[in-house]
Amino acid sequence: MKKRTLGTSHVAVSALGLGCMGMSHAYGPASNKQEMIALIRAAVERGITFFDTAESYGPYVNEELVGEALAPYRRHVVIATKFGWHFGPSRERLGLSSQPEHIKHVVEGSLKRLRVETIDLYFQHRVDPEVPIEDVAGTVKELIEAGKVKHFGLSEAGVQTIRRAHAVQPLTAVQSEYSLWTRDPEADVLPTCEELGIGFVAFSPLGSGFLTGRIAPAATFDLSDIRNTYPRFTPEARAANQALVDLLDRIASQKQATPAQIALAWLLAQKPWIVPIPGTRKLSRLQENMGAADVELNSDDLDEIERAASQIKVQGARLPEHMLNMTGR
């Protein structure tokens, strides 16, 4: 697997990472733990060195899964996790929380669950409007000085928040949704990352599965699947957005690739410091996704995709309104 560096941080990771959330959270019932451990280890053996999780995935169980799976490979991988939520006694999500004392408390739990002495990359999961970002960055700076964290990141943050945080503790990465059907970061977040030397981690690079072309217009999801709440995943929106999948399919046929590989290759072609983190529960899909790193899209290919995509208006918001309100500050 080819390597990439997250901005100017000297943090080298595989060109494609593995988003582990869906193994135990959000996309229906959790998968068998031992099968997911085997899948994560198969990813390492095939060259993946960057793994993404969060305390909120489960909560907690995804960090435990990742920690157990990667324990034999600790020196060879980079693990990213996230803080920023407060949970009740039954693990119910109570709201955002990035108070300094809270961060200092929850980092201990993440360290234990991940079975590490230091967290490689520690993201604030969502910007907490009740806590100045300078306080958050300063707290993570203290954790870095204490040897509990190596690098700091922000997830779904806006440009002013990025700049303010970076001034206190340099950011190694910003993580946001980015794909051919979610291009919001292009307006100002990506230019800001380039200016400041910050890497960019693209989550949901396959549009939560839609860009693979394997979700039928009439498909239904398990009641616990978060896509049931996404406006972009209503049957009407999926039917309207099929044009984007058709575009990927057309390019894929020219390149002897799959739509998923083209979607990921397009992301990789945008900037050399962008690292997509597609998730999967299947070895076959892991191998397919990894194949995207070997798909070469030349300038003519990229121009063709851009021209066609510019004529397609994506239908439906990417998230429910209450979740959108937590992004882009």
DSSP tag of 227: G
Structure tokens, 252: 């894929």
What is the Cα–Cα distance from 72 to 70, expressed in whole angstroms?
6
What is the Cα–Cα distance from 101 to 317, expressed in whole angstroms?
35
What is the Cα–Cα distance from 34 to 19, expressed in whole angstroms?
17
Q: Which of 234, 21, 3, 224 is nearest to 123 (CA)?
A: 21
- Cis peptide bond prior to 217, omega within 30° of 0: no
- Coil, strand, or helix at residue 323? helix
C-alpha distance from residue 40 to each of 58, 63, 124, 172, 311 (Å): 17, 12, 24, 24, 38
Query: According to DSSP H, which parts of the chain are helical?
Result: 33-45, 61-70, 100-114, 133-145, 159-168, 189-196, 235-255, 259-270, 283-290, 299-310, 321-324
DSSP tag of 145: H
What is the Cα–Cα distance from 49 to 42, expressed in whole angstroms?
11
What is the Cα–Cα distance from 184 to 188, expressed in whole angstroms?
8
Asked if 60 is an active-site residue, the reply is no
C-alpha distance from residue 28 to each of 2, 25, 150 (Å): 32, 7, 33
Phi, psi of 200 (to 5 degrees): -130, 125
Among 57, 122, 178, 230, the one annotated catalytic: 57
Please give the positions annotated as active site.
57
